[in-house]
């Protein structure tokens, strides 16, 4: 790293976030370890904490940069993330540089280096996700991560192009637009230039990338519009999206088309606009206030055109920012405007993300504390009851012990008989849960989409797709609505059974919480609406490409399957947590009854065991108090750290 360059705001934020995440992970692990050693029943608590451990351990953050060609997007990525190398890492300069979408990340579990997917794979119907599991199809280049110049040289392959006949280029998804055709430059052989590669995976060790950061670089309308996974999956799932424009050109027609068709409708991500190349407005013949007014006018015009608040448009000069960081020029860096954009990215990618994860950890830990505190209170109540019972036996004759043995044996028989109700409850619950599993089974969920895919694959003209998708979407949404109704039926059935168990056996099982699928339904609506609009008249020409249509439908199927699988996981976890309460108290009651019988039998044989058992119970009560205070201390340390 260049020692004369200050640590960029976003870089510092990412390291702070990674440090917080590592500390939070260790604190949750420490809590689980302490609980494992406590002897408490963790059937409910363990999965709650394990989910948070997995989430903290595997958290990844994606920043997507989207722009038409020649907007300085690669230079902006260089300035934000790679200025410490003392030179450009991603190819940047005049004309088209990065020619294909790129995912930049660090994952030691995957092959290191640069992997490039040939553009010809667009002629086939496999999705990008499917191609990623076929490494033999990709072209691989080594990346010398410790050699900045060698790394930059290797990454120039992102700019590779080839010349092909126009018809071939159109089959591959290029030059369908009338304006593109009007500006087309063909050579003497009637060939045109297109990217050599369809997609790039850049996997190398880097301090920022090692913290779980991924950068998605999507250049040009042809790249974005021709890949449904980019538009409808990768970009919407990013933690923040930076749309890069040129301050010298403003919002061009192609910029606006990318914005309206591929970004403005994106949900689940915070979108920022970088108005790049603002140094083109630094007219030496104007005063500083005049230059500021000119830049502000461009910001206001851009915001109005994109229908965004002006505070989400950031005038920057990526070139001057990179130069300033390499040369250690503070005033030039401040003038470049990059700090304000980095601050906004830092909030979207670090502060907001941290708040989200911290809230999830606190909720899970709160549930654990509530459940285990209730468990300890029940143990304390039972132990105190046993102690009072044994204290009452002091000085009593043997007949009293025999009577108590008989009464306790009858109580255990009654409890065992009552457990038949618990088994029946489990059977009913399992049947209802199995019905939900069938409702969410991938084969059932995706049947109509697979039928549509098959029909479109054989159709000469791809017509009626939008209407079919709208119908399929409505049917799938009804599944979610019906599932929510069925979940409420399960909840009411369990609540009634828990109330009876509490009344008959003195349990303290709480009614299951209400589970709503409204958030998932909203996400489902966004996904289906996005795909339905994408497969509409504006993309009619692309739809006539069989491979493109099939890729789009398969990508939709994958998104729908993921959503339904997530819903089923949530339902199963909810049901398991509810039933675990009852199971825990049944086990504890069985242990308590057996312990009391054993104690009375020993008392019947010898009076000394009465005193021993009283002593054991007093120690047990003291230990419960120690555990409760220890639990409270552990939770307090975790949530206040």
pLDDT (tens digit, 9 = 90+) per residue, 419-439? 788 888 889 999 999 999 988
> Average pLDDT for residues 335-363, to the nearest whole number?
89
Give the range among 174-183, 370-379, 579-588 with minimum mean pLDDT.
Answer: 174-183
- pLDDT over 70 percentage in the chain: 90
Which pLDDT score, from 0 to 100, does residue 268 have?
47
- DSSP one-letter code for 121: G
Dist. CA 78–CA 95, nearest whole Å: 17
Dist. CA 238–CA 271, nearest whole Å: 10
Which pLDDT score, from 0 to 100, does residue 31 have?
94
Nearest to 127 by CA among 480, 550, 471: 550
Dist. CA 494–CA 511, nearest whole Å: 7
List Cβ neighbours of 179 (8 Å cut-off, separation of 6 or more).
253, 254
115-124 pLDDT, tens per residue? 999 999 988 8
Which pLDDT score, from 0 to 100, does residue 5 have?
47
Sheet holding 313-315, edge to edge: 139-141, 113-118, 197-203, 102-105, 213-219, 61-67, 240-246, 270-276, 313-315
pLDDT band at 387 (very low <50, low <70, confident <90, very high): confident
- pLDDT over 90 percentage in the chain: 37
pLDDT band at 338 (very low <50, low <70, confident <90, very high): very high
Dist. CA 445–CA 440, nearest whole Å: 6
Which pLDDT score, from 0 to 100, does residue 339 have?
92
Dist. CA 390–CA 546, nearest whole Å: 81
Nearest to 74 by CA among 229, 218, 252: 218
Which pLDDT score, from 0 to 100, does residue 605 have?
63
The position carrying tokens 């699988």 is 565
Which pLDDT score, from 0 to 100, does residue 462 have?
61
Nearest to 69 by CA among 207, 194, 167: 194
Dist. CA 498–CA 488, nearest whole Å: 15
Dist. CA 223–CA 245, nearest whole Å: 16
Determine how many CB atoms are found less than 10 A away from the CB of residue 279: 20
545-588 pLDDT, tens per residue? 777 788 888 888 888 998 999 999 999 999 998 898 888 888 88
Tokens of 74: 């690669």
Which pLDDT score, from 0 to 100, does residue 590 have?
84
Contact 154, 142 (CB under 8 A): yes
How are beta strands 270-276 and 240-246 bridged, if at all?
parallel
480-508 pLDDT, tens per residue? 999 999 999 999 999 999 998 888 888 88
Mapped onto helix, strand or coil, the DSSP state of residue 164 is: strand
Nearest to 548 by CA among 123, 222, 117: 123
The position carrying tokens 């109540």 is 381
Nearest to 257 by CA among 216, 224, 297: 224
Is the model's pLDDT at 63 over the cut of 80? Answer: yes
Which pLDDT score, from 0 to 100, does residue 3 have?
44
> Average pLDDT for residues 16-45, to the nearest whole number?
91
Mean pLDDT of the chain: 85
How are beta strands 270-276 and 113-118 bridged, if at all?
unpaired
pLDDT band at 82 (very low <50, low <70, confident <90, very high): confident
Which pLDDT score, from 0 to 100, does residue 220 have?
74
220-268 pLDDT, tens per residue? 766 666 777 887 788 888 888 999 999 988 899 889 988 887 888 764 4
> Average pLDDT for residues 609-630, to the nearest whole number?
87
pLDDT band at 4 (very low <50, low <70, confident <90, very high): very low
H/E stretch holding 420: helix 398-440
In the chain the first and final C-alpha atoms are separated, in Å, by: 31
List Cβ neighbours of 17 (8 Å cut-off, separation of 6 or more).
61, 211, 349, 350, 353, 354
pTM here is 0.78
> Average pLDDT for residues 138-164, to the nearest whole number?
88
275-317 pLDDT, tens per residue? 999 999 999 999 999 999 999 999 999 999 999 999 999 999 9
């Amino acid at each position: 790293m260049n020692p004369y360059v200050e640590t960029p705001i976003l870089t510092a934020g990412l390291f702070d976030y990674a440090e917080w995440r590592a500390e939070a992970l260790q604190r949750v692990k420490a809590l689980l370890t302490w609980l494992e050693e406590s002897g408490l029943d963790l059937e409910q608590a363990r999965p709650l904490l394990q989910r948070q451990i997995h989430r903290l351990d595997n958290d990844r953050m994606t920043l997507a940069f989207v722009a038409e060609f020649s907007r300085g997007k690669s230079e902006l990525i260089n300035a934000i993330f790679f200025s410490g190398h003392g030179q450009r890492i991603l190819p940047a300069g005049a004309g088209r540089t990065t020619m294909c979408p790129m995912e930049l990340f660090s994952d030691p579990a995957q092959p290191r280096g640069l992997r490039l997917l040939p553009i010809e794979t667009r002629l086939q119907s496999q999705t990008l996700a499917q191609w990623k599991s076929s490494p033999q199809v990709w072209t691989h280049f080594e990346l010398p991560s410790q050699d900045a110049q060698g790394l930059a040289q290797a990454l120039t392959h992102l700019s590779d192009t080839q010349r092909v006949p126009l018809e071939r280029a159109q089959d591959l998804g290029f030059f369908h637009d009338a304006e593109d055709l009007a500006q087309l430059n063909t050579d003497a052989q009637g060939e045109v230039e297109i990217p050599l590669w369809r997609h790039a995976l850049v996997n190398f060790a880097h301090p920022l990338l090692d913290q779980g950061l991924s950068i998605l670089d999507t250049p040009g309308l042809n790249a974005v519009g021709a890949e449904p996974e980019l538009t409808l999956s990768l970009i919407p799932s990013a933690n923040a999206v930076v749309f890069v424009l040129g301050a010298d050109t403003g919002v061009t027609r192609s910029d606006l088309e990318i914005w309206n068709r591929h970004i403005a409708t994106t949900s689940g991500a915070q979108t920022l606009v970088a108005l790049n190349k603002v140094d083109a407005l630094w007219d030496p013949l104007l005063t500083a206030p005049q230059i500021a007014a000119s830049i502000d006018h461009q910001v206001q015009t851009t915001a109005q055109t994109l229908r965004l608040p002006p505070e989400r448009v950031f005038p920057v000069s990526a070139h001057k920012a990179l130069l300033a960081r390499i040369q250690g020029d503070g005033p030039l860096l401040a003038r470049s405007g990059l700090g304000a954009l980095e601050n906004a990215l830092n909030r979207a990618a670090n502060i907001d993300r941290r708040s989200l994860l911290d809230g999830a950890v606190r909720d899970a830990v709160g549930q654990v504390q509530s459940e285990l505190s209730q468990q300890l209170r029940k143990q304390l109540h039972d132990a105190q009851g046993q102690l009072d019972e044994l204290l009452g036996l002091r000085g009593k004759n043997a007949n009293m012990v025999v009577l108590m043995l008989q009464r306790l044996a009858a109580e255990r028989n009654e409890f065992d008989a009552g457990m038949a109700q618990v088994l029946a409850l489990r059977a009913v619950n399992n049947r209802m849960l199995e019905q939900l599993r069938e409702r969410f089974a991938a084969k059932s969920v995706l049947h109509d989409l697979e039928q549509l895919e098959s029909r479109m694959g054989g159709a000469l003209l791809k017509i009626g797709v939008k209407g079919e998708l709208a119908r399929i979407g409505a049917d799938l949404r009804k599944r979610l609505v019906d599932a929510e109704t069925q979940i409420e039926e399960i909840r009411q059935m369990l609540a009634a059974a828990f109330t009876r168990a509490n009344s008959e056996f003195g349990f303290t099982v709480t009614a299951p919480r209400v589970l709503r699928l409204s958030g998932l339904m909203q996400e489902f609506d966004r996904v289906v609406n996005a795909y339905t609009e994408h497969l509409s008249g504006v993309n009619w020409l692309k739809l006539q490409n069989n491979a493109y249509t099939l890729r789009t439908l398969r990508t939709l199927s994958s998104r729908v399957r993921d959503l339904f699988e997530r819903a089923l996981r949530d339902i199963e976890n909810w049901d398991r947590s509810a039933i675990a309460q009852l199971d825990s108290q049944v086990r504890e009651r069985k242990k308590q009854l057996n312990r009391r019988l054993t104690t009375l039998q020993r008392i019947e044989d010898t009076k000394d065991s009465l005193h021993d058992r009283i002593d054991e119970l007093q120690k047990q009560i003291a230990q419960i108090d120690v555990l409760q205070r220890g639990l409270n201390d552990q939770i307090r340390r975790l949530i206040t750290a």
